[in-house]
Amino acid sequence: MTAEPRPTGDDSAAGRHELAKERIRNADRINLLRLWGVSVFFLLFLVLGGFLRLPAWRGNLGLFAIYWSLTVAVFWASRRFGPVAPFTTLTIGLLDVPMAFFLQWATLATSPSASGVAGFTVGVYVLLVILSALSLQKRYILFTATIGAAFEILLQHFAGVSAGAMMSTVILLGLTASACSYSCRRLVELVERVESAERQRAELGLRQSEDHFRALIENASDIFTVIIPDGTIRYQSASIEWVLEYGREGFVGRQVFELIHPDDLAAARVAMEAVFTGRATTRSVELRFRHRNGSWKPFEVVAKASLDKTGQSIAILTSRDLSERRRVEEQLRQSQRMEAVGQLAGGIAHDFNNMLTVILGRSDLLLTELGATQERQRRAVELIRATAARAASLTHQILAFSRKQVLQPKVLDLNDQVAGLEEMLRRLIGEHITLSTELHPDSGSIWADPGQIEQVIMNLVVNARDAMASGGSLTIATDKAELGEEVTDQQGDLAPGAYAALVVRDTGVGMDAATLARAFEPFFTTKPMGKGTGLGLSMVYGIVRQSSGHIEATSTPGQGTQFTIYLPRVNDRSEAEAVPERATARG
């Protein structure tokens, strides 16, 4: 089955152009027909009135000559100026009425009253013929060709017109009507075709508009819902299937309030009431919707009042998921908080380190001045020096977090760094923990300080070891990654491009969401007092950020924790030296 071609805008324009041209051609044909008819009768007047000098014909010869001249002038104008042809057709039609009257007056051998009646009826008939040609309506053409002819015969019969004259008149007018009908047939078909094309084009445009609107609604990430005043859902968009993982059909006919968190119901009802009562055409409110898994997700809901096809009040709800926005906002706040803490801690550590330098220097000087017999004094000074050294180590970690330490970067192979530490790490974690490495051959090289990268790996491994007191498995993996702008834009100073990834994954006790959110904060620890400084992960965070990298942490209580570090991948020193500039250029 072949589908019918749908009309386009070009087809419709072409049809209208063809219709205009056909109107002119049709008017020319009608005007030519009238000219021939009038010319024949004028010739008849000349023969019967001019040469044979019949009184009835001779008396009207001058008037008919004027009529013939006007007909010729109108015909010439229609040919000379094409667009005026349809108007000249109407002009000739108006002139045909007196023509018919004088034609009857000259040819009928009956009383003047009969001739007047016959002339009037013929004039009306001729006018109907012209109007039928101009109206382009088939019923008018049918009337003039059949009913009109029969009516004319009946009137002329009662007027006492002779059969011969009556038949000649009817035949002449019938031929005229037939000629007009035939010439209009193509024009009528064109009109119907153009009207059909316009109607189909309008219907097609409406369908395309509806399809486009439906596609936008059905594929949008926002949830669209139509409700009536009592909260019953009349329409539910398909986006609810992937945003909240519900089947859309199951919600039609249910209450929209079933989705809303109990604590948000009051705000939702106030917003809906304001929209339906006309106090506000639109109302925005933040609500929590229940996910299929039982969790609650924040949404910004905009309610807009409207009417359906029957005039019933409805509200169109547009619900936008705020989860990602809240996550990004929280991540930004966390980054700003870490930056502020880092600046504060860095300033304090720098001043504290200067004081420790004096203490260490004076301790070394005292040790050289004390003799061997002053053992008690030497032990006191050594204790002071050891304590100061531990404090210096602590300030070193704080400076690492605040990214104020001096680095000595070089091009490093990430796989070589991990492989070189493997034996030492096995001794560090103990035999109750299984260590495995998964090194990607194309993880690439990075531009970093070797000592600092070792410190990062060591701190993450120690953190994993402490989380697996009863044993478990620890995996260190490398990989390559491409970070797009959708990821780097959230970090602000991170550049999109190629990165080497370092993953440290354990099967320890894990962390809940609250603990994970503070994992990189300095001095934050879940260990008992005296068991940890809370600077291990903070130091990792600072080193990674100072190396133009990014660190992510995921954790599930009872299942374990994974840290993923992304460091810019480089090929040579010249490319490596551009890494810090590339990272800071986005700030």
Q: What is the pLDDT of residue 522?
A: 74
For residue 446, the SS3 value is: strand
Q: What is the pLDDT of residue 533?
A: 61
For residue 547, the SS3 value is: coil
* The residue to which tokens 């970090």 are assigned: 491
Rounded Cα–Cα distance for residues 344 and 498 (Å): 33
- Dihedral angle sign, alpha carbons of residues 8, 11, 15, 21: positive
Q: What six digits make up the tokens of 78?
A: 């229609």
Supply the pTM of this predicted model.
Answer: 0.44
Rounded Cα–Cα distance for residues 64 and 98 (Å): 10
55's CB contacts (< 8 A; 6+ apart) are: none
For the residues of 158-210, what is the DSSP string, one character each?
Answer: HTT--HHHHHHHHHHHHHHHHHHHHHHHHHHHHHHHHHHHHHHHHHHHHHHHH
Q: What is the pLDDT of residue 281?
A: 82
Cβ atoms within 10 A of the Cβ of 30, count? 26
Identical fold for domains 220-321 and 410-584, yes or no, is no
Residue 74: closest CA among 99, 55, 92, 50 = 92
Rounded Cα–Cα distance for residues 503 and 358 (Å): 40
Fold that domain 220-321 belongs to in CATH: Beta-Lactamase (3.30.450)
410-584: CATH, from 3.30.470.10, 3.30.365.10, 3.30.565.10, 3.40.1440.10: 3.30.565.10
In the chain, domain spans: 9-201, 220-321, 328-401, 410-584
Quick one: three-class SS letters along 318-349?
EEEECHHHHHHHHHHHHHHHHHHHHHHHHHHH
Residue type, 21: K
Bridge pairing between strands 497-506 and 445-448: unpaired
CB 388 within 8 A of CB 363: yes
Q: What six digits make up the tokens of 181?
A: 């009908």
CB 228 within 8 A of CB 314: yes
Residue 267: closest CA among 254, 284, 253 = 284
Residues of the chain below pLDDT 70? 1-31, 33-34, 37-38, 41, 45, 48-50, 53-61, 63-64, 82-191, 217-219, 331-332, 334-351, 372, 393-407, 486-493, 527-534, 572-587
> pLDDT tens, 108-159?
444 444 444 445 445 545 555 555 455 445 555 555 555 555 555 655 565 5
Q: What is the pLDDT of residue 160?
A: 60
For residue 207, give Cα distances in angstroms to 138, 201, 211, 386, 550. 32, 10, 6, 84, 50
